[in-house]
């Protein structure tokens, strides 16, 4: 009698996900689906989120999917978008309903048109009620089950009476969302001074802080009108090269550092971060731009020596205190 082969339990079918950009705020999320084929062309889809039915666009090229399954893991996707400063959450954002039909597209176009009128009506109510808030835009969810109003305000606003009047007017659920100036640019911005669409509209979702140190380090003009974006704040692109500039600057000697070059000894009077050239004033009065690798440091700058001495003195004081 032959041995009876133990039957292996069937593994549960893996859930399939597609990467979709959706919402008026251009959010990015994974949506569960059961399709065996993902179209090779950019395709609009209807998805179900916590807000209701929404229209979105599948993200990724045909090579990103195999038999309908996204080949990249959630960790890989999160790592990629994390490095790109794009907000992405590994938890599924909802489920796929269907590929968008002409009726869906027509309905979406209709809701976008009336959303402009709804935002204007809301602005009139805000003026009449003298509320300290600015209505930026409105979003009418596909299916008409919810209207979202995006507004700006300096602090908390009691808009309960406003919501009641809007609900009576449109007979649907009303949601108010407070946003900042960068989010306003994401909703209303268009083309920036570089000739490209605003980064916050095109791809940037994690709006990290940008400061003047970045502009000074990159030797950009400090004219506010030239380094400020559509939102009125410092341009997000100043952050893109900050890490590179910071690392390159660390490799250059400080100003007033004593150095030796092929032309003799002298001191550093200036430097160029990107080209890694050091401007040296030699003891004989000549000035020359020397590549960093051709310079030998004799003594650090006076400021650096004082800083190191202060650090050493503080450490000695700490030791004496412990004794």
Compute the mean pLDDT over every residue in the chain, rounded to the nearest whole number: 81
pLDDT band at 17 (very low <50, low <70, confident <90, very high): confident
pLDDT band at residue 151 under the 50/70/90 scheme:
very high
Q: Please write the tens of the pLDDT for every residue from 98-125.
A: 999 999 999 999 998 899 999 999 999 9
Residue 129: strand, helix, or coil: coil
- Same fold yes or no, 104-182 and 251-303: no
Residue 300 has pLDDT above 80, yes or no: no
Beta strands in the chain (DSSP E): 16-22, 27-33, 44-49, 52-58, 65-66, 69-70, 94-99, 134-140, 146-152, 173-178, 258-261, 264-272, 277-282, 287-291, 296-299
Q: What is the pLDDT of residues 305-322, one digit of tens each?
A: 555 554 445 545 544 444
Dihedral, 153, 234, 79, 42 alpha carbons, nearest 10: 80
pLDDT of 4 strictly over 60: no
Work out the end-to-end distance of the chain between its first and last CA atoms, rounded to an integer number of angstroms.
87
Evaluate whether the domain defined by 251-303 bears CATH number 3.30.470.20. Answer: no
The one-character DSSP state at 142 is B
Which fold is adopted by the domain 104-182?
Answer: GMP Synthetase; Chain A, domain 3 (3.30.300)
Q: Where are the domains of the chain?
A: 16-100, 104-182, 208-249, 251-303
Task: Please return the burial class of 177, using the count of CB atoms within 10 Å of its CB with bins 0-12, 13-18 and 19+.
Answer: middle
pLDDT single digits (tens) 275-294: 999 999 999 989 999 999 99
Residue 226 has pLDDT above 90, yes or no: no
**Reduced to 3 states, what is the DSSP secondary structure of residue 288?**
strand
Judged against a pLDDT cut of 60, whether residue 12 lies above it is answered with no
- Check whether 175 has a pLDDT greater than 90: yes
Point out which residues pair with 17 in neighbouring strands.
32
Confidence (pTM): 0.65
């Amino acid at each position: 009698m032959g041995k009876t082969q133990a039957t292996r339990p069937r593994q549960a079918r893996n859930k399939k996900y597609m990467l979709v950009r959706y919402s008026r705020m251009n959010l990015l999320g994974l949506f569960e689906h059961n399709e065996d084929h993902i179209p090779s062309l950019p395709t609009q889809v209807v998805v179900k989120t916590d807000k209701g039915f929404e229209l979105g666009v599948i993200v990724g090229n045909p090579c990103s999917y195999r038999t309908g399954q996204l080949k990249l893991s959630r960790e890989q996707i999160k790592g990629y978008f994390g490095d790109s400063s794009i907000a992405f959450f590994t938890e599924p954002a909802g489920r796929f309903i269907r590929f968008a039909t002409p009726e869906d597209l027509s309905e979406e176009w209709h809701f976008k048109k009336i959303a402009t009128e709804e935002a204007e009506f809301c602005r009139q109510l805000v003026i009449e009620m003298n509320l300290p808030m600015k209505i930026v835009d409105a979003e009418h969810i596909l299916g008409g089950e919810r209207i979202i109003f995006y507004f700006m305000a300096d602090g908390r606003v009691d808009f309960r009476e406003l919501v009641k009047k809007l609900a009576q007017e449109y007979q649907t659920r009303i949601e108010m969302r407070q946003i900042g100036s960068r989010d306003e640019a994401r909703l209303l911005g268009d083309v920036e001074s570089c000739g490209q669409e605003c980064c916050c509209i095109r791809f940037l979702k994690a709006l990290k802080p940008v400061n003047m140190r970045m502009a000074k380090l990159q030797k950009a003009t400090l004219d506010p009108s030239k380094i400020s974006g559509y939102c009125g704040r410092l341009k997000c692109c100043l952050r893109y090269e900050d890490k590179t500039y910071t690392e390159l600057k660390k490799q250059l000697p400080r100003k007033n550092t004593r150095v030796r070059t092929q032309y003799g000894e002298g001191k550093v009077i200036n430097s160029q971060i990107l080209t890694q050239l050091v401007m040296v004033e030699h003891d004989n009065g000549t000035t020359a731009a020397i590549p960093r690798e051709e310079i030998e440091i004799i003594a650090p700058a006076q400021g650096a020596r004082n800083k190191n001495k202060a650090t050493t003195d503080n450490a000695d004081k700490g030791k004496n205190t412990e004794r």
